[in-house]
Structure 1
Amino acid sequence: MTPPPSVLFAEDDDALRLATTQALELAGFTVQAFERADALLASISGAFDGVVVSDIRMPGMDGMELLTAVKSIDRGIPLILVTGHGDVPLAVKALKDGAFDFLSKPFAIDHLTASVARALEHRRLQVENRRLRAAAEANDATDPLIGTSIAMARLRASLRQLAAADVDVLIEGETGVGKEVVAAQIHRFSRRAGRPLIAVNCAAWVDTSFEVDLFGHASDAVAHHRSARRGMIAASSGGTLLLDEIDSLPLGMQARLLRVIEEREVQPIGAERPEPVNLKVIATSKTDLAEAAQAGAFRTDLYHRLAATRLRVPPLRERGDDVRLLFDVFIDEARELFGRPDFEVPADQLAALQLHDWPGNVRELRNRAFAAVLQNGADEPGAAPATSDLRLRVALYEAALIKEALQQCGGRVHEAIRRLGLPRKTFYDKANRLGIEIDAFRR
């Protein structure tokens, strides 16, 4: 398939048109040549992402008229004018009118190719910026960070800045504020968005299996695993590595992660040498890492490496009217999920929203909204159990069993997992979906 032209060239002199076209093609450009400017103009659309080169003096439409016509299609299309000696004042006027450059005849072909290369790079950046702006506007329509408060406006602005800069980020905030959502948005708006976002749940650390998952291993380095395995750190190379709840990691594992973050390399278990990784690291913490470092519960060197760029997610009590806005969104979600489109929130429940401190933040608010819809349906006399009610009952039963296990185990997750007979990932998936605050049972 023939690539689209990167240069559209108009010149009425046959010999000069042929020679210039060949020279541009030898320089690596894809050229489409025209004898007349109006024929060139007919081939341009707003989707054209190349450069126009045109002589000024031509029969019919001249170069100045072509400049005006091209700018009416897309003011960003670069146009380079080729002038005779007597046309230099006219070319200077063309620059003021938006021409990208002009060359006087006779010109050296390397001057033309250098000008075309600059114009193409200018156009590429312009098209990319338009694409990013359009993507940002489209993303705004589906932004999961709901809220109109000043705190959320500041958060969004900071988030965009940190996404544009390819730097590591420490996201701090209370349980339930949405730190994982913020991390996902930073990745979404970054240049790494087309690459994977690998989330590591540091709170899931139980035994050496977590280390294997994270770092991978060489062949025959781990019992019962003859083939080499790629870890999550290596899998995130080129993209973003999210270290969720990094404050939960043991000090020994923190030391290994420090090497990854500082050296940008990872050494699988049993491997002879480390391998380089290209990462943007985002870490989240529900506790004050500075205090944890001072108390010896978190490595000071790792804290300072992560804390160079910090982002605080505000708790719900600092977000004013966002509470009611979010509650309405969650109520709509619950209405749809549980098949209760006619449900109306009692006035006393709405009045109580602003009186509560919401220690569980957005997650607690969502649970409250779902409970409001579900309990109302369960309390109606004679209400027939619909399919959504069955799902509710199963979910409530699962939540009760998980909470009971955590309570009996004092919040020790590995014991609760063994008691319930669940895989670790399944346990955390269910706890997250059911809004179970594991930390509450540890306290």
Structure 2
Amino acid sequence: MKPTILLVDDEEELRRSSSQALDLAGFDVRSFAAGEPVLDIVGYGFKGIVVTDIRMPDMDGMTLMGKIREIDPDIPVILITGHADVQLAVKAMREGAYDFLEKPFNAQELADIAARALDRRSLVIENRRLRAEAGKRDDIEARLPGRTQLMVDLRYRLRAVAATDADVLVIGDTGTGKEVAARALHDISARAERPFVAIDCAALPANLIESELFGHEAGAFPGAIRARYGKFEHARGGTILLDEIGSMPLDLQAKLLRVIDERRITRLGSNEAVPLDVRFIAASNTDLDAEAAAGRFRADLLYRLNMVTLRMPALGARREDVPLLFLQLVNEAAVRYRRGPIDVPPAIIADVARRDWPGNVRELRNAADRFVLGLGPAEPLGTGPAHAGLADRVADFERSIIAGALAAHGGSLKPVYESLRISRKTLYEKMQKYGLGRHDLDSV
């Protein structure tokens, strides 16, 4: 699919004229009256750019740009401004906007800026592809980092599954990154440039749940003044994430099963079936097998959804990853809060490494944010498993100190054993004792 320009403007006349000008210049243009639908299209695999007005109701252009940068900071965003918004646009440039145009602007000027932005995006996509082919750290490892075998295996399975159209069940505790994995599956799949629609099954209003998912025709129920696409239909060609699938009511589970089997939907108030080309990813933090055994979840739906199952490990199951993961989250938070490079003392890393983090990566990310903002890494301090004896606690503390020092010094041994005031031989023996893998020696 060729590169696309997503044009967002609530003024119909300006939207139409800008779209026509870009179309005549040879670009593939999709126009929108609001920014929300754009967020379902952009992603790591999106090859295009976004052109948006700043002043819009509901979600303004600055907010839209911020949300796009959270998904992928390398997607060029061009802002259209009124005369009074020029200072705001300059501020946006400092925060990552690619360029801005002041109204009124001529069509050639818009086309020239769009062409340069598309060239930049093309280079970004090509560099990512080359890095992946060269076996270097790719986008999936950046989004799901970790050196433990659990994470290596997870990334391997994710890449293998992404290349297919198989429906996927992602399970794991709260905060382990289920939605991150689902988004990664979409972004490296053949559906990357089509919508990614996340549906929180626990938050759908009970009285509107069918209309929200399947859509409705005009007059289907009181208040249905005009026909409306549902979320399923909006995702055609793309991916649907059914988050917290275990919260879906049983009667709706039966209808969902039929949709998954037939890949068709019928809007409320209609008898006409609409073909549905989508991939379903379901996510749950509950044991769906137990829910099915208790009669709270349809067993046939579970069997249909778990064609492939990805299990997101808790941080407690991959404690070796905590120091490096914390450092990465600190760097991301520093960029997000526009802070300079931040050094994390080994003592802080060691403290972070020995905590339990029951909230998993989400809790660790919040701790990194607090540290960057000068509020300390977390409250209260973790103390390790309550049932552990003194010897186990001492060993856990020693291991976390060494792991933290290794992470702080990038795996280089000399500054580690010098800072810990032990010999190189002692350090090597303790790394073997505590299972700190040989990958930590790669940079020595």
TM-score, length of structure 1 as denominator length? 0.52
* Aligned-pair CA distance for 1:140: 4.7
Counterpart for residue 215 of structure 1: 214
Cα deviation per residue 1:360-398 (whole Å; 9 max; x = unaligned)? 1100000111122324489xxxxxxxxxxxxxxxxxxxx
Distance in 1, Cα, partners of 2:269 & 2:171: 34
Paired residues of 2:175 and 2:363 also in contact (CA < 8 A): yes
- State the partner residue of 1:142: 139
Q: Return the alpha-carbon distance in structure 2 between the equivalents of residues 239 and 336 of structure 1.
A: 30
**Alpha-carbon shift at residue 210 of structure 1 (Å):** 3.0
Match of residue 200 from structure 2: 201
8 Å contact 1:202–1:246 — kept in the other structure?
yes
Q: d(CA) in 1 for partners of 2:130 and 2:339?
A: 36
**Hey, what does 2:262 align to over in structure 1?**
263
Distance 1:197 1:220 in 2: 29
Kept in 1, the 8 Å contact 2:128–2:138? The answer is no
Q: Secondary structure of 1:160's partner?
A: helix
How far, CA to CA, are the matches of 1:187 and 1:314 in structure 2? Answer: 20
Aligned length in residues: 249
CA contact (8 A) 2:315 2:322 kept: yes
CA distance in 2 between counterparts of 1:158 and 1:208 reads 38
Does the aligned pair in 1 maintain the 2:171–2:285 contact within 8 Å?
Answer: yes
Looking at structure 2, the residues matched to 343 and 234 of structure 1 have their Cα atoms a distance apart, in angstroms, of: 45
Alignment correspondent of 1:237: 236
Which has the larger Rg? 1
User: How far apart, CA to CA, are the structure 2 residues paired with 1:256 and 1:315?
Assistant: 33
Unaligned runs of 5+ in 2: 1-125, 378-444
> Distance in 2 between the 1:337 and 1:165 partners?
34
Give me the whole-angstrom Cα distance separating, in 2, the residues matched to 1:135 and 1:164: 18
**Matching residue's letter, 1:241:** I
Give the conservation status (yes or no) of the 8 Å contact 1:170–1:282. Answer: yes
Does the alignment pair 1:324 with 2:323?
Answer: yes
- Contact conserved, 1:215 with 1:234, CA < 8 A, in 2? yes
Q: What amino acid does structure 1 have at the position aligned with 2:214?
A: F
Q: Which moved more, 1:344-353 or 1:242-251?
A: 344-353
d(CA) in 1 for partners of 2:219, 2:274: 18
Q: Deviation at 1:346?
A: 5.0
Matches within 5 A, 1:1-20: none
Aligned to 1:253: 252
* Equivalence map 1:342-361=2 (5 Å): 343-361=342-360
Deviations 1:42-92 (A, max 9, x none): xxxxxxxxxxxxxxxxxxxxxxxxxxxxxxxxxxxxxxxxxxxxxxxxxxx
Aligned mates of 2:267, 2:308 — CA distance in 1: 28
Contact kept in structure 2, 1:267 and 1:274, CA below 8 Å:
yes
Sort the Cα spacing of 1:339 and 1:188 in 2 relative to 1 into closer, same or farther, 3 A: closer
Change (3 A) 1:366 1:377: closer
Residue aligning to 2:431: none
SS in 1 for 2:281: strand
CA contact (8 A) 1:136 1:189 kept: no
Distance 1:204 1:267, change over 3 A: same
The letter of the residue matching 1:154 is: D
How far did residue 172 of structure 1 move? 0.7
User: Cα distance 1:189–1:344, how it changes in 2: closer, same or farther (>3 A)?
Assistant: closer
**Partners in 2 of 1:339 and 1:269 — Cα distance?**
47
CA distance in 1, matches of 2:131, 2:224: 43
Cα deviations across residues 131-160 of structure 1 (Å, max 9, x unaligned)? 996484499543311222211111111001
Aligned mates of 1:167, 1:142 — CA distance in 2 = 21
Higher helix proportion (structure 1 or 2) = 1
SS at match of 1:170: strand
For residues 290 and 333 of structure 1, the distance between their equivalents in structure 2, rounded to whole angstroms, comes to: 37
